[in-house]
Amino acid sequence: MQQRASTFMKSTHRGFTLIELMIVLVILGLIVGIVGPQAMKYLGKGKSQSAKVQIENISAALDMYRLEVGSYPTTADGLKALVTQPSGARGWNGPYLKKGEVPKDPWNNDYQYKRPGGNNHPYDLFSLGADNAAGGEGEDADVNLWQS
């Protein structure tokens, strides 16, 4: 009777077999393979939305600059004119951005600014997206002030 009790006790403390561990790893791999791409898609949308909000904030700073100076910064002066007074900018009362520096886009690239802008806009302000190149789709798509 003593021998049966010790055999029972040994069997309750057994570990997992290699096959059981492999099955668990395969299941976890399948879950990550299915959920991972969906999560990355939403993360990319979040960065694009964040870029859009930052662009709108920079646009408001550009409008304030125009009210005080009388015109938008030149392409040569760029967005730096919002934090450092360009030569000949009378009425400049900046910096116009809260942190006193031009923010980077969510992909850690510079925002692009051109004056005059296309399509009868006073300027163009945009991010080149994750690939930092013109055009693209998804997370690589450009984020522009004038797009809807």
% of residues, the chain, pLDDT over 70: 86
In sequence order, the 6+-apart residues with CB closer than 8 A to the CB of 139 are: 44, 45, 47, 48, 129, 130
In a domain, residue 49? The reply is yes
Q: What does the alpha-carbon distance between residue 4 and residue 60 come to, in Å, rounded to a whole number?
A: 81
Q: What was the pLDDT predicted at 47? A: 84
44-50, Cβ contacts within 8 angstroms, sequence gap of 24 or more: 44/130, 44/138, 44/139, 45/139, 47/106, 47/107, 47/130, 47/139, 48/106, 48/129, 48/139, 48/141, 48/143, 50/106
**Both tokens assigned to 50:** 């964040």
**Residues forming beta bridges with residue 143, ordered by sequence position:** 127
CATH code of the domain in which 118 resides:
3.30.700.10
In a domain, residue 66? The reply is yes
Write out pLDDT tens, residues 19-46: 888 888 888 888 888 877 776 666 667 7
Q: What was the pLDDT predicted at 10? A: 56
In a domain, residue 131? The reply is yes
In a domain, residue 13? The reply is no
Q: What was the pLDDT predicted at 113? A: 95
pTM, whole model, 2 decimals?
0.68
Q: What was the pLDDT predicted at 21? A: 83
In a domain, residue 76? The reply is yes
Q: What's the structural domain count of the chain?
A: 1
Q: What is the mean pLDDT of residues 127-136?
A: 85
Domain containing residue 107? 39-85+101-137
Write out pLDDT tens, residues 83-130: 998 988 888 888 999 888 899 999 999 999 999 888 889 999 999 888
Nearest to 127 by CA among 114, 140, 144, 146: 144
pLDDT grade, residue 139 (50/70/90)?
Answer: confident
